Structure formats: structure tokens, C-alpha cells
Amino acid sequence: MAIARPVAVFLALAASSLVAGDYDALFGAMKKAWPQVTTLAVVCDANSSKAALSELTGAAGGMKVMVVDVKGPQDMGKAIGTLTGRKPDAVVLLAGDRVAGDGSSAASFLIQRMASVKIPTAATTDAGVKQGAALGIGPGTGGKLMCNAKVAAVAGVAVPAGATAI
């Protein structure tokens, strides 16, 4: 049985091989719209999402990244409990994660619960924003900055200037 647990991810040993492409624009937009964000959380199947986690961590530029490892939807309740207790400043969705990736019911559950405790979610796809991520930009948005103003208001964060509302 998989247990959701936080793991502080500092991939300094792999830093030389990191490529930050998909997440550069996302973190740039987050830093501009939400300058108070210094601690990020990611909920994913850490083993299956190693490459994406490395890419995200490489782009995080000094932000602390907390990973909550889940092996299936049955672990999402424990993941929410962990995040509620640890209180990250924002949660980032990994688009291709098999458990909590954009478009999944687990991601919808995560987004709703985090917004209710004033923790915004960010994504790299329009599917993530349509599902409730407060901010989205990346290859899955065609490079366009998008926002979900309703969820941003619930989470208590600013809508990024110039963002297209969904």
C-alpha cells in the first residue's frame, strides 16, 4: 500500500542535466503575480514522474519544492492532509502525471481542496486552468498566460496582469 508522504526535493546532484523549458514561463508568471510564493508542492507518482520533477525543480530557481508521492487516487486524501498541514504557498500540477495530472479527477479534487484553504494551484496546460488552476502558462496553453479568476478569488491570490480568463 502506497503512503503519501512529503519529500523535500533538492536535486542539486542532478542540476547539471536539468532542462527547465516547460516550467520557465510558469515560474516567471508566478513570481510576478504571486511574489509571496517561496514554497511549492507537487502531488504526483514520484517514481513515474522523475523527468518532470527534475525539470520542475531545475526551473524553480531558489523556491523550495515539496513532493507528495501518491501511487493512486486512493492516496489523495492523505496527500491533502499532508499539504494542509505543511501549508505550501502554491501547488503545481504535472501535466503528464498518471495519478494527479491535468484533467484527472484527482487533480480536480486537489485544486478544489487547496483553493478552499487559500493555496492556489498552477498548471502548464489549458486543461489545468479549465479544471480550476488559478494560473497557467506553458506548452499546453500555446504559451498564452491564462487564469481562472473565480478560483483565484477563492484561493485569495491576484489574477496575473494580461492573463486570458477562462
- Can you list the domains of the chain with their CATH numbers? 6-10+19-159 (3.40.50.2300)
Please say if the pLDDT value at position 7 is more than 60: no
* Separation of alpha carbons 50 and 123, rounded Å: 17
pLDDT-above-90 percentage for the chain? 83
pTM value is 0.86
Q: In this predicted model, what pLDDT tens digit does every residue of 126-135 receive, in sequence order? A: 999 999 999 9
Q: Is the pLDDT of residue 8 over 50?
A: no
pLDDT digits (tens, 9 = 90+) for 53-93: 999 999 998 899 999 999 999 999 999 999 999 999 999 99
CA–CA separation, 133 vs 124, rounded Å?
9
pLDDT at site 22: 82
1, pLDDT greater than 90:
no
pLDDT per position as a tens digit, 10-47: 333 233 233 447 899 999 999 999 999 999 999 999 99
Mean pLDDT of all residues in 129-148:
94
Predicted confidence (pLDDT) per residue in 96-110, tens digit? 999 999 989 999 999
User: Beta-strand (E) ranges in 13-100?
Assistant: 39-44, 64-69, 90-92
